[in-house]
Structures are given as structure tokens and as C-alpha cells.
Amino acid sequence: MNPRVRLVGATLIALLAMGTVLLGTWQSAVPFVSPAELDASLLGRRVQVEGLVRGLEPYPEGLRFDLSDGMGAVVAVEYRYGAGRPLALDEGRLAIAKGVYRDGRIVAQQVSVRAHEGVEEP
């Protein structure tokens, strides 16, 4: 096979592979926003929202709570989990809700709690 054809073929394959990786990364990128930054342009999209947990209450499918940015902006979160209440998720803790922004609230598939943030040390 002609070396020039090989080089062109290898280059095309490399470009195709890079394009596939970049497209996958771009599509899976989930914006990280504060409660104040949530607006109509994010409705129906996956988001990550960080804030202080307020008004934590159980309901049959999981937990409901608000995330506050500490400056007045608040977003409601519904967190459905299967295997018991996450122990670290508590009132006043700094948490990140990852889910879909719908009807003015986050329907979270995952909630992460920042270690030792939002809690006074003994």
C-alpha cells in the first residue's frame, strides 16, 4: 500500500476518534450552577447545584429539601434513593444535587455532601 494513502487513512481515523471523544465529553458535560443561576434556559437539562441544606424532610420515595446559596436564592430538591437515607445529608450541610431541573426544582439522582463544610467542629 502506498505510504501516502496509509498516512491519510491513519489521520482520518485519528480525527474521527478525537471527534467522537470530544462529542461525548461535550454532551455529557453537566453545568455547575448556584441556585441564583437557575433559569428557564436550564429547564429539562441536567445540572449540578451547590448550597446549604434547609428544610430536610422525608417523603415516601426519598427526601425533599431546599438548597440555599446563603444570599437569598433557594431551589427545592427531590432526592429519590433506594437504600436508606444518606447519613451525611443533614440540615445545614453543604451539598451538591445532581439531577434534572424541572418545574422550578431539581429532581436529583445523586447528592454529594461536602466533608466537614457547613458543620461546626467540636
Residue 122 burial (10 A CB sphere; 0-12, 13-18, 19+): exposed
pTM for this structure? 0.69
C-beta separation of 117 from 94 below 8 A: yes
Identity (one letter) of the amino acid at 91? E
Domain assignment present for residue 5? The answer is: yes
Q: Could you report the per-residue pLDDT of 26-49, keeping only the tens digit for each?
A: 545 777 888 999 999 889 999 999
Which domain covers residue 1, as residue numbers? 1-30
Q: How many domains in the chain?
A: 2
As a whole number of angstroms, the distance between CA 36 and CA 45 comes to 16
Counting Cα atoms < 13 Å in the Cβ hemisphere of 108 gives 24
Instruction: Specify the CATH number for the domain of residue 69.
Output: 2.40.50.140
Residues 21 and 37 in one domain: no
Given a cut of 50, whether residue 115 has pLDDT beyond it is yes
Which residue did the predictor score with more confidence, 23 or 54?
Answer: 54
Residues 49 and 97 in one domain: yes
Could you tell me the sign of the dihedral formed by the alpha carbons of 106, 86, 113, 26, in that order? Answer: negative
- Mean pLDDT of the 40-61 span: 90
Which of these, 55, 25, 27, 31, lies nearest to 43 by C-alpha position?
31
